[in-house]
Amino acid sequence: MNHNSLKENLDLNQAAHEMHDLLCTLYPICRSITGNGLRETLNLINNRLPLQIHEIPTGTRVFDWTVPREWNIRDAYIKDSQGKRVIDFCSSNLHVVGYSMPVHRKMSLSELQKHLYTLPHRPDWIPYRTTYYQEDWGFCLSHNQLMELKDDEYEVVIDSSLENGHLTYGECLVQGSIDQEFLISCHVCHPSLCNDNLSGTVLATFLGNILSRRSPYYSYRILFIPGTIGSITWLALNREKIASIRHGLVLACLGDPGPFTYKKSRQGNAEIDQCMMYMLNTQNTDHEIMDFSPYGYDERQYCSPGFNLPVGCLMRTPYGRYPEYHTSKDNPDLVTAEYLGDSLEKILLVLDLIEANRKYLNTNPECEPHLGKRGLYKYIGGQNEGLVDQIALLWVLNQSDGMHSLLDIADKSCLDFWLIRDAAHLLEKHGLLIPCA
Amino acid sequence: MNHNSLKENLDLNQAAHEMHDLLCTLYPICRSITGNGLRETLNLINNRLPLQIHEIPTGTRVFDWTVPREWNIRDAYIKDSQGKRVIDFCSSNLHVVGYSMPVHRKMSLSELQKHLYTLPHRPDWIPYRTTYYQEDWGFCLSHNQLMELKDDEYEVVIDSSLENGHLTYGECLVQGSIDQEFLISCHVCHPSLCNDNLSGTVLATFLGNILSRRSPYYSYRILFIPGTIGSITWLALNREKIASIRHGLVLACLGDPGPFTYKKSRQGNAEIDQCMMYMLNTQNTDHEIMDFSPYGYDERQYCSPGFNLPVGCLMRTPYGRYPEYHTSKDNPDLVTAEYLGDSLEKILLVLDLIEANRKYLNTNPECEPHLGKRGLYKYIGGQNEGLVDQIALLWVLNQSDGMHSLLDIADKSCLDFWLIRDAAHLLEKHGLLIPCA
Amino acid sequence: MNHNSLKENLDLNQAAHEMHDLLCTLYPICRSITGNGLRETLNLINNRLPLQIHEIPTGTRVFDWTVPREWNIRDAYIKDSQGKRVIDFCSSNLHVVGYSMPVHRKMSLSELQKHLYTLPHRPDWIPYRTTYYQEDWGFCLSHNQLMELKDDEYEVVIDSSLENGHLTYGECLVQGSIDQEFLISCHVCHPSLCNDNLSGTVLATFLGNILSRRSPYYSYRILFIPGTIGSITWLALNREKIASIRHGLVLACLGDPGPFTYKKSRQGNAEIDQCMMYMLNTQNTDHEIMDFSPYGYDERQYCSPGFNLPVGCLMRTPYGRYPEYHTSKDNPDLVTAEYLGDSLEKILLVLDLIEANRKYLNTNPECEPHLGKRGLYKYIGGQNEGLVDQIALLWVLNQSDGMHSLLDIADKSCLDFWLIRDAAHLLEKHGLLIPCA
């Protein structure tokens, strides 16, 4: 059986290591929802996957939102009275609260402390904080660093700018046989954080690269966007494209060693939901299926009630459930080539399924067609050889009334999807099935 | 959180005792489906809750039925040959079979015995019997009393009348913000029987009283009617009001110490059914949910197939399942202030729920609205404080497509109804939701 | 309760033995999908049940199929060089592969072996093989017989003919009160094989005989057809009759001692499916319910997507699941009068059910009708005698909104179907119900 697998001729192990290499390259860049870190990231992705880079001006209205000012940062530190940098942006870009306003002041420890964020129960780790929609500034540091700060006068510098500019995002369309689209979306707005979500970013990059070297059935639109404001911006500025989205996946947290977690679309029984569950079940891989909830990544926007798109979210360990989440420990050690490779493989398996899953019409719906005269029936009756294949043909013929997909037929017959798919292809070749539009 | 609770400013303990007092006042009256006992009962209720008293003439056609003649009784007894009253209506009105024709005859014990009803397995208890729709007469007595009757000639007197008159019922409408109605129905036709159904009668009285001192959303129509013929009469003579009934409850057997039993409406998933189950589940009170059956109280008529109204029946121990049912032991000792008060509280909780349960439309259904600019989002992102409230806002926005009630959203999100309700109010205040009609 | 049982005045034990006698009479005949063995079989059935015998010419187009040439066989054998018949058609008609072309040749053992079929794991048994749709020839023999064949020159004779002729089938219509039909279908194309399917053949014969002596509600159409090509031919040539088929059963493998197996129609919840499951459950007989699959007997054609008729298949041990299936051991010892009788009884019970299962409309849907004035209510209320019957009346009235069958009401009320049916008849007699069309 040839499943036209997307994995064909792909060295998964090599891809896994290249994904991890790209992740390490992207890791040090200070990204945010706008700014040069995001641009630099998209340019590096562009080397692997040609992107259309969009620049949306500050102030553009996108539904209920407005594209914010562009934030850029050059340096930031806290110096003690001896002039020693006790907190230094250069050592970790998590030290600065994202979207912090520029500051250059001297202040006492007690005044400074109102702007400091730590994780007391993880005293070595630096938390990740942002202040996108409220003008403020702050520093994140390990609790141990905080404990070492003496009563002193500190020079506090954040050399940032918050000015009219642009929101930047990247987009790649892999044209398929039909114009209906499979949307792949990942957020690229986090600074030095790996599982959330450089893992999704590198996976989307490699998926795009692989798909662009195949001839897929669906067209694949791959979005590299800042979280929330990015998907809102794309949806607002691309309303004419929304009706073409037939399936979608948000990719995040896909490089840790945890089992897969699939969060269903708001529809709850969309084809992507069915295919993902079939793949996870048949791969015998430990996994969890979550119902949709309006808390999470950009599926919140795609699945808002006015769109209700069939977009699920694939993760390994979900947001908030691993201790390293949104801390300096979500680093290249947490994410391994092995698990990035495993995630890539499973996503390719799901895409294989959804590419192959069709509905057909039996051209001869009244009684069975005569399989024997077409050489589709073993000629000495009563024997059991080839029986499974025979039964697959009968199942496909019986259920192909335009209402059952091949996956529905596989479920109903308890036969393997690919056996059912091959039966359908054989019947189509003999003119006994025609695909539904 | 202010749940606008109907319990607010209510001394439940005092109400419980006042209900029991009213029950004791009503207990000795000899009620039937027509007659002066019923009138006297309604007049006493009227002191607590102003009622419209309706008098429907004998012979009025009500669907397949006819309003029967009015039955009144002054005295009844069985005297032995020494002139001693061995059975005396004055000592218990259960002694006379309800609707017995007038009798004044002497007869032997053997002839008399054809008209005597006892409970051999409960030799001290007097049963309750009626003969509404067949002209007959009879006495109910304890089995011990029967055993003591000697072979003698007895003077049998029932000083009753069965004449053209009226069927009497009481009605109270508490006008709410909208004309759609919540129907509360109880039967008031039983003589000295407490759980079935003076308990329902006093609860309906106090509920009406409490509601009339609030400003409820729904209009509440409270019916004090004789069983079966009363609901049939009301439905037949008030056809124009039936379409306004949005929810309903029949109240009976609510003063015994048993756990709650809720019998669902014929619809099976009406809003009253959902609210009652939510209340009973969240109150962690032992309870049983029964599917609808066409045997029981006046829900039989409200849920007949031509109406199929969303009317359930709330009881503690249901009809026929407690030994005292329809006997002289269903007296003021079986019913306690404590359990009347508990029943009142739980019904108020259900009314609170149903009053607050609405459907809304998200005014901004495409993507999430920008909560931050309205002060509805914690401004330093990435922290978990206030997360539950945040998630409640997101759930309400995501599900408010006009098809999901707040209770549906609470169920789906596994969040508390009142948290969801408060989130909806907050969003409505900010113009992000509008209530569905 | 009179259930108008089809079993009434029937000596089931006698019928059981007569069925087995008929089976033994039919057993030796060499049947195939066409030819004189099939004609002879239908003529013998005709003695019990008057049949319309149809002869459809070779070459007739029936949907995607063509009526094949007629096959007849007079003799067949394999003689060794001493002239001894080592394999002889006269000793078992299974020895010849069905539809074998005529052969008269001498050949070596090694050449002959390509045309020999055995069951190595059942060395005493002769398998059953056919070659309907591919011109070929062959012999089936026990593996022990094969082992005894020496290296020799053999004379191989199959004195058969494969010529233009007819496909023969039998049909009987028992006219009922209405023209809507219950289809009973059995295949009669197997040679000396008893469970599959002389058991179905004799059951269909006796069912037809019994029904023709009653006055059934439905019209019963009983088909005695060759498998696959027979049902395809009937459907193709009787398109105008298909719309009248309201229920149907394929009968096969009904004489072995195994528990019942019911394979549901493709619809999955047709009335025949409901009735069969109710009967099997209430008879407390061990049984299995199988979902529809497109592999099996003629239900494959009746349930093809262009027809999707409500036709199930009743068996005891299904095709392929008993070791004797399609071998010389499926003989009159495997099938007993006892189990044929048991199968007959259970099918009659199902027909009783489906004949009685109707939908009604309550003529008085607004409130309950006054049962008392029609003598349908015990007149001293409050007693429990006759309560079940009373409740049955109330259930039927409450649910008779034209959407619930009596079987639906029995399921919902957990009352016996026949109690519900009797309640419906009583209510109909009093003008309180009218049957739906």
DSSP assignment of B72-135, as one string?
A: EEEEEEEE-TTS-EEEETTT-GGGBPBTPPPEEEEEEHHHHHTTEE--TTSTTPPB--B-TTS-
Cα–Cα separations (whole angstroms), residue A426 to A10, A390, A436, B251? 27, 11, 16, 66
Residue C79, φ and ψ in degrees, nearest 5: -105, 140
Looking at the predicted structure, is the pLDDT value of residue B99 above 90?
A: yes
- DSSP strand pairing (A166-174 vs A52-57): antiparallel
| Residues in contact with A182: Cβ distance below 8 Å, sequence separation at least 6, in sequence order | A218, A219, A220, A221, A245, A246, A247, A248, A249, A351, A354
Whether C372 and B307 lie within 8 Å, measured CB to CB = no
CA distance B195 to C381: 18
Give how far A227 is from chain C: nearest CA, Å: 47
Q: Give me the pLDDT at residue B317, please.
A: 98
CA distances from C214 to A55, B350, B398, C435 (A): 85, 58, 63, 22
pLDDT in tens, A100-153: 999 999 999 999 999 999 999 999 999 999 999 889 999 999 999 999 999 999
**Can you give the pLDDT at residue A381?**
46
Domain with CATH 3.50.30.90 in chain B: 71-163
Q: Which chain A residues are Cβ-neighbours of B399 within 8 angstroms?
A: 294, 305
Chosen for mutation from B293, B307, B311, B328 (greatest number of chain C CBs closer than 10 Å) is B293
Q: Read off the pLDDT of residues B409-421 as tens digits, 9 standing for 90 and up.
A: 999 999 999 999 9
How far apart are the C-alpha atoms of B258 and B279, rounded to whole Å? Answer: 17
Please determine, for residue A385, whether its predicted confidence score (pLDDT) is greater than 60.
no
Output the DSSP codes for C137-172: --EE--HHHHHH--S-EEEEEEEEEEES-EEEEEEE
Q: Given this model, what pLDDT does residue A1 score?
A: 42
Instruction: Sort C332 into a burial class: Cβ within 10 Å, 0-12 / 13-18 / 19+.
Output: middle
CB–CB of B327/B126 below 8 Å? yes
CA distance B276 to chain A (A): 26
DSSP state of B374: G
Interface of chain B against chain A, CB under 8 Å?
362, 364-370, 372-373, 377, 379-384, 390-391, 394-395, 397-401, 412-413
> Residue range A366-371: average pLDDT?
96
Q: pLDDT at position A383, please?
A: 47
Q: What is the DSSP letter of B264?
A: P
End-to-end CA distance of chain C: 25
Chains A, B: CB pairs < 8 Å: 88
Which residue type is seen at C411? Answer: D
- Which tens digits make up the pLDDT trace of C378-423? 644 444 456 668 899 999 999 999 999 999 999 999 999 999 999 9
Residue with tokens 């500051």: A103
Distance separating the N- and C-terminal Cα atoms of chain A: 25
Q: Tell me, what's the pLDDT at C98?
A: 97
pLDDT band at B178 (very low <50, low <70, confident <90, very high): very high
Going by C-alpha positions, the residue among C42, C36, C35, C31 that lies closest to residue C58 is C35
- Name all chains with 3 or more CB-CB pairs below 8 Å to chain C: A, B
The pLDDT value recorded for residue C372 is 86
Which of B359, B361, B367 is most worth mutating to test chain A (most A CB atoms within 10 A of its CB)? Answer: B367
- What integer pLDDT is reported at residue C2 of this predicted model? 52
The DSSP symbol for C226 reads -
Q: Which CATH number fits domain A359-435: 3.40.50.720, 3.40.980.10, 3.40.50.300, 1.10.10.10?
A: 1.10.10.10
Q: What angle do CA B76, B77, B80 make, to 5 degrees?
A: 160
Distances (CA, A) of C24 to C80, C193, C337: 32, 11, 11
CATH homologous superfamily, domain C12-68+166-356? Zn peptidases (3.40.630.10)
Name, of A23-27, B381-385, C4-8, C374-378, the range with top average pLDDT. Answer: A23-27
Chain C: give the shortest CA distance to residue A428, in Å.
16
Please report residues of A whose CB lies closer than 8 A to that of B408: none
Q: Which residues of C touch A (CB under 8 A)?
A: 62-65, 97, 117, 127-134, 136, 138, 228, 231-232, 235-236, 266, 293-295, 300-301, 303-307, 320, 326
The Cα A105–Cα A68 span in angstroms is 26
| Mean pLDDT, chain C, integer | 95
- In chain C, residues under CATH classification 3.40.630.10 are 12-68+166-356
Q: Which helix (H) or strand (E) holds C185?
A: strand C181-187
Nearest to A326 among B370, B377, B382 (CB): B382
Q: Which residue of C has its CA nearest to A362?
A: C305
Looking at the DSSP assignment, which residues form a beta bridge with residue C154? C107
Lowest mean pLDDT among A2-11, A161-170, C241-250, C289-298: A2-11
Identity of the residue in A129, A303, A320 whose CB atom sits nearest the CB atom of B381? A129
Record: contact C128-A369, CB cut-off 8 A: no
Instruction: Report the distance separating Cα A103 and Cα A159, nearest Å.
Output: 7
Asked if the model's pLDDT at residue B50 lies above 60, the reply is: yes
CATH code 1.10.10.10 region(s) in chain A? 359-435
Q: Phi and psi at residue A289, in whole multiples of 5°?
A: -105, 125
Q: What is the pLDDT of residue C134?
A: 85
Residue A387 has pLDDT above 90, yes or no: no
Distance from CA of C406 to the nearest CA of B (A): 15
Tokens of B404: 């999901």
Contact A367 C306 (CB under 8 A): yes
Mean of pLDDT values over C345-355: 97
Is residue A382 predicted with pLDDT exceeding 50?
no
Calculate mean pLDDT across residues A403-412. Answer: 97
- Distance separating alpha carbons of residues C365 and C362, to the nearest angstrom: 5
**What pLDDT, in 10s, does the model give residues A51-103?**
999 999 999 999 999 999 999 999 999 999 999 999 999 999 999 999 999 99
The rounded mean pLDDT for chain A is 95
Question: Residue C389 has what pLDDT?
Answer: 83
| Per-residue confidence band for A388, with pLDDT thresholds at 50, 70 and 90 | low
pLDDT at B402 over 60: yes
Residues from A contacting B (CB-CB < 8 Å) are 63-65, 97, 117, 127-134, 136, 138, 228, 231-232, 235-236, 266, 291, 293-295, 300-301, 303-307, 320, 326
- Per DSSP, helices labelled H in B182-336 are 200-212, 229-237, 239-242, 271-282, 299-302
- C370/chain B closest Cα distance in angstroms: 6
- Cα separation, C356 vs A343, in Å, equals 59
Q: How far is B171 from chain C (nearest CA, A)?
A: 20
3-state secondary structure A217-252: CCEEEEEEECCCHHHHHHHHHCHHHHCCEEEEEEEC
Mean per-residue pLDDT for C70-90? 97
What is the structure's pLDDT at A375? 85
HSE-up of B435 (CA within 13 Å, CB side)? Answer: 8
The CATH code belonging to domain B71-163 is 3.50.30.90
Instruction: Compute the nearest-CA separation of B16 from chain C (Å).
Output: 30
Q: Tell me how far apart the alpha carbons of residues C123 and C81 are, in angstroms, rounded to a whole number.
A: 25
Chain C residues with CB inside 8 Å of A390's CB?
Answer: 295
Position C328 pLDDT exceeds 60: yes
Judge whether B169 and B133 are in contact, CB under 8 Å: no
What would you report as the CA-atom Rg of chain B, rounded to the nearest whole angstrom?
Answer: 26
Q: How far apart are the first and last CA of chain B?
A: 25
Please list every residue in chain A whose beta carbon sits closer than 8 Å to the beta carbon of residue B366. 63, 235-236, 304, 306-307
Q: Give the C-alpha separation, C61 to B307, whole Å.
A: 56
- φ, ψ for residue A86, nearest 5 deg: -80, -30
Q: Which long-range contacts (CB under 8 A, 24 or more apart) does A318-322 make?
A: A318/A253, A318/A261, A318/A263, A318/A290, A319/A196, A319/A252, A319/A253, A320/B384, A322/A195, A322/A253, A322/A256, A322/A258
